[in-house]
Amino acid sequence: MKREEGSGLDLGQGPGRLLVWLYGVFTVAAASRSVVQMLMDFGRAPLAYVLSAAAAVVYAFITYSLVRGGPAARRAALVCCAAELAGVLTVGTWTLLEPSAFPDATVWSDYGMGYLFIPVILPVTAMVWLRRAAR
């Protein structure tokens, strides 16, 4: 990946490369999970399945932004990471307060406990990296 003039560090190098990989894995995991669940038994937990699909879209956009690089992509990734964190915190809290609303788990249920809490750690880590990489 090429570094644009005045755009800070290349987002695909060092820790940025790990972030791209993790977001790519989570894109595939969330998309696969939601597609299978929607096809197999959508009526069982439509809210959970739609939220997992939404998470996949967010992960895909962040992956794309990190790969693309540059100031505009960095800003877009920061906004999406903040939205992702808000989603994880909202859904995580909702699943704890009203578990009956989620007969099946989402990627963000219980703050991502089913995924070793990576869904709540990843956006924070990404935002820190994006801010440092901009310098």
**pLDDT tens figures, 64-111:** 999 988 899 999 999 999 999 999 999 999 999 999 999 999 999 999
Residue 17 has pLDDT above 50, yes or no: yes
Tokens, residue 34:
């939601």
Is the pLDDT at 8 greater than 90? The verdict is no
Q: Does residue 19 fall inside a structural domain?
A: yes
pTM for the full predicted model: 0.87
- Report if residue 59 sits inside a domain: yes
The domain tally of the chain equals 1
The encoded tokens of residue 25 equal 């894995």
DSSP per position, 12-68: TSTHHHHHHHHHHHHHHHHHHHHHHHHHHHGGG-HHHHHHHHHHHHHHHHHHHHHHH
Q: Model confidence at 2, in pLDDT bands (50, 70, 90)?
A: very low
Q: Which amino acid is at 34?
A: S
Q: Is residue 61 part of a domain?
A: yes
Range of the domain at 20: 15-133
Asked whether residue 10 is domain-assigned, the answer is no
Residue 2 lies in a domain: no
Is the residue at 7 inside a domain? no
Is 118 part of any domain? Answer: yes
